[in-house]
Amino acid sequence: MHTFYTNPSIFVFSKIRTNMPNTISGFSKLSKSQKIEWLLNTYFTNKDNARALVKQYWNSDDKLQKLHDEFIENTITNYYLPLGVAPNFLINETTYTIPMAIEESSVIAAASKAAKFWLDRGGFKAEVLSTEKIGQVHFIYKGDFNKLKAFFKHVKPKLISDTASITKSMERRGGGILDIQLRNKSQDLPNYYQLHATFETLDAMGANFINTCLEQFATTFKNEALKFDDFNTEEKDLSVVMSILSNYVPQCIVRAEVSCKIEDLKSKDIPNPEEFAQKFKQAINIAEIEPYRAVTHNKGIMNGIDAVVLATGNDFRAVEAGVHAYAAKDGSYSSLTHCSVTDDIFKFWIEIPLALGTVGGLTSLHPLVKFSLEMLQKPTAKDLMKIVAVAGLAQNFGAVKSLTTTGIQEGHMKMHLMNILNQFEATDDEKTKLVEHFKTNVVTHSAVVEAIKNIRA
């Protein structure tokens, strides 16, 4: 089978065999409609339904749709996630309603419930401990390390001066390059060394800024090595492998906490606050020493963190990678949150690395990101770090509170009920009856299926 696409400037030929993957050359050069038609012809039986579905998610505003199309490559449509809000967050005496973009049931409900719980108990306290970000030039050098050290001392001022045009704007606002170090990693990998640089990027996440500086470091480093008299021919020919920022930022740390008298924990579902506090602390202690529990424990924290990071146009994948590396920094994977119960005071806190931005990237392009940041009262990057850390702490408090009292499934499955009902295309009337029914019955998938059958019978 052969597939052809033509227009005045594009000719694409794809030979597809039944025993080979479906491939195409020049796909990125096709128009959006041509890409869709190729997908439909190649993979779909009911092309009309598939085409209608793809177009159903296009925005009716052509300009807005074009903006979304140009965020990434080979765009065919939009993929929706719900954007919800969790109100009543009191953080450092300021009240916030936090935007959360997420598809998982019960996350926003748990965060909102935790926010309301702590609203009358002093709220959340948060502080940024440090904001250093890191980038590295990785290179191979075959020669005398003492010569390399001497060369680095000689070239370091030029590394900084050669980036002056890049850093000028950032320095004007109070940021820029903080330091550059030479690191010897040859014991781990033969002939491997690093230029390890630290940066302050203020309200920008700073990835492009850091990477541009690093690539200039690499160029200067290589060029100056060729002119360094103390190097022999082999030493002058050092090889730069790559220049790239690190998403591990153990010196870009924010801390958030809640605390109150143990007796003040008493509420409708905490009749015995002393027992609750001790059981809650035990649950945190388990997550601190048991990696199997810690992974799920921290995943719950990231439910809250990722949702806010995504809603504010930041890179949740970078945050995830950095946070999980931090959770293993002491040699084994452990809980990101901690708890103490001393002198009749319950304290629960989190310290995590967060490299976030409130300017640049999607923050100035995506309309809903702008909406979310305005809802958060136009935070600085440090403010956003505090808000995101609090969201993670609140999420974890809600989850551990449920686990140690009613159990996780009671609340989660009731939130999941609507998804099950939508799977079976329940009518509004059926939903009303079934929601009422499951107020006093345990929600399981099989129980919901049985209840739907009974109503429809």
Among 299, 329, 378, 453, which one carries the catalytic annotation? Answer: 299
Among 29, 47, 69, 104, which one carries the catalytic annotation? Answer: 104
Structure tokens at 220: 């200067």
DSSP 2-51: EEEEEETTEEEEEE--TTS----SSGGGS-HHHHHHHHHHHH-SSHHHHH
Looking only at the bridges linking them, the beta strands covering 133-140 and 192-200 are antiparallel
Among 200, 215, 315, 383, which one carries the catalytic annotation? Answer: 315
* d(C-alpha 304, C-alpha 336), whole Å: 13
Structure tokens at 1: 């089978």
Q: Please, what is the angle between helix 291-311 and helix 316-327, to 10°?
A: 150
Among 236, 297, 382, 412, which one carries the catalytic annotation? Answer: 412
Q: Is 299 labeled as catalytic in the residue annotation?
A: yes
Q: Is 70 labeled as catalytic in the residue annotation?
A: no
For 347, the 3-state DSSP assignment is strand
Q: Is 445 labeled as catalytic in the residue annotation?
A: no
Q: Is 104 labeled as catalytic in the residue annotation?
A: yes
* d(C-alpha 38, C-alpha 14), whole Å: 10
Is the alpha carbon torsion for 434, 440, 445, 450 positive or negative? Answer: negative
What are the residues whose beta carbons fall under 8 Å from the beta carbon of 68, sequence distance 6 or more? 59, 75, 78
The residues assigned a catalytic role are 104, 299, 315, 412
